Amino acid sequence: MASKIQPSDRTVYDFSSQSQKWAFVRKHWPIYVISLPGIIYFLLFKYIPLFGSIIAFQNYNIFKGIKGSKWVGLENFQRMFAYTDFLQILKNTILIGIYDMCFAFPVPIILALLINEVRVMMYKRIVQTVVYMPHFLSWVIVGGVVVGVLSPSTGIVNHLLALFGVEPIYFLGENTYIRPILIGSGVWKDSGWGTIIYLAAIAGINPDLYEAAQIDGASRIRQVFSITIPSILPTIVILFLLQIGNFLDFGFERVFVFLNPLNNENGEIIDTFVYRAGLVDRQYSYTTAIGLFKSVVGLMLIMISNTFSKKMTGEGLY
Amino acid sequence: MIMTRGHKIFNVFNIILLGIIGLSMVLPLIHIIAQSLSNNAAINAGKVSLWPVGFTLGSYKLILQDPTIWIGFRNSVIITVFGTLINLFMTTTLAYPLSRPEYLFRKSILVMVLFTLIFSAPLIPNYLLVKQLGLLNTLWALMLPMAISAFNLFVMRSFFLNLPTELLDSARIDGCGEFRILWNIVLPLSKPAMATMGIMYAVGHWNRYAEAVFYIDHRNWIPLQVRLREIVFTDQMGQSDVSSELMLLLSPEGIKMAVIVVATIPILCVYPFLQKHFIQGMMVGSVKS
């Protein structure tokens, strides 16, 4: 019965012929019309650029377009690896990604475990409200806050250092400090936000487990390590997988706001380089090749880590 | 539950530690507000930490006299209001059919959306598309390319899936067409979800920076964040007709900090609403994926 309406999402209609199917679609035409703007959006703004990526294999000329431009095969990709600056940028991107994973990833987990242990509800709520807040500030504002706090002449950090007799440090003007600043500002902005999912996972743990553990005489610390952490492990694994997939995607904004000629060498990542070489210097094909390289590596990382984790833990993204 | 000594020590330690973490989120902002309200001499002498010294509103006066900041503010307000309306329209009109069993192509469209989440086009093809559509240097470039967030689409769809079907069925029996059902029944029921998503999208538009750097270079159409970055990081204040005595009184640091405060205020105003609605929306989405 084609017109039977069932509540479930998994409703499957059985059509014996193609014409029956079209009759069904015609009968319910309004919802198909309603969906059109959204579908057009995805085709236009997501899929056309995806096909436009083939200019990575061309010597794209903006006046000739994709059809008129010359095909050059993998030349742009070869050029990429032959260029020493690119290798430095790739190194920066990978290092910043690794640092981010080592230092920023565990913070929300620890924070969620600590917040969960607070028994005073009022205090718990205040702490949560406060740690979520920086997430809603833009990277430019976060950058401005960092500049203000780290300023060599007027910032509070250098004032504190001065108490210990340390000479003022121009943090943003030195190559050595850019990576810690990038990671640290990320922790400041987003670690509180990251706790939401972990707190939800903790809230979903069966309270009977804790009760049983208490009867068996397990201390609070023991309960955390024997119940809470194992219970949220699947969540941790999934978020870790997502993180690996976004390994090269540190983000344009959060790096670009801090970059200046003095810290460029250690700070420039693929995204900022693509902007500079692509949009500013108009090397369209070359930077598309770099961008495509990044996307493909990201996709491969997701697939590899997913397979790996399914074997190890039985958990995966898909 | 009996508290052992170890528990008590841990509790005290934990409360203090979380207090310090919480303060580290708030203190930098207070430091910045304090600087924005202090005069030049006090800032340079390093006297300002958490309370304004040599109180002055001069930095704010100066900012309000700078036309480029007003332009940025105007553009940011426009993209926030209209961009969010576009977002809500586009997201619901796709999420609703995807929640209906009568919509036969659900699966293929969901796959199509999901694919864009894990594999997206590089910057240049996106730029060329925006250019070819003639959107460069218009505010449309900051609204149309991000009209739907796939994540929000899934959140909205799972919200629609949870609406009682009986309600829709009875409306249909009463002779309601699909458009009427969506407009008169589904939308009023989904006000909380819409509000949550609207605020989320609005914050995104207000904070929009990267796309503005890519697609806009005409001074008349840059949003506030771009102007903000110029002022804070490259010391470019506009040539405003400020008396020199006022200039002497103000420090560049104080002015920068005042601009940051101005750009932050709208977010802090909606923050209580954000906090209230939005965490639930976040949960729905995360469970689904």
CB contact under 8 A, B271 and A133: yes
* Interface ipTM: 0.87
Residue B53 reports pLDDT greater than 90: no
Work out how many CB contacts closer than 8 A connect A with B: 282
Nearest CA in chain A to B90: A38
Q: B interface mutation test: which of A154, A214, A219 has the most B CBs within 10 A? A: A154
Nearest CA in chain A to B113: A42
CB contact under 8 A, A274 and B233: no
* More reliable by pLDDT, B248 or B288: B248
Q: A interface mutation test: which of B31, B90, B124 has the most A CBs within 10 A? A: B124
Q: Tell me how close the Cα of A133 comes to any Cα of chain B, in angstroms.
A: 8
Task: Report pLDDT for B39.
Answer: 81
- Whether the model clears a pTM of 0.90, i.e. scores above it, the answer is no
Average pLDDT of chain A is 86
* A105-119 pLDDT tens trace: 999 999 999 999 888
CB contact under 8 A, B6 and A219: yes
Residue B289 reports pLDDT greater than 60: no
Of B90, B106, B225, the CB nearest to A37: B90
Nearest CA in chain B to A215: B1
Give the residue-averaged pLDDT of A206-219: 89
CB contact under 8 A, B101 and A24: no
Q: Which tokens is B71 given?
A: 């332009």
CB contact under 8 A, A50 and B121: yes
On chain A, the residues whose CB falls within 8 A of the CB of B208 are: 138
* B142-174 pLDDT tens trace: 999 999 999 899 989 988 988 888 888 888 888
Residue B37 reports pLDDT greater than 80: yes
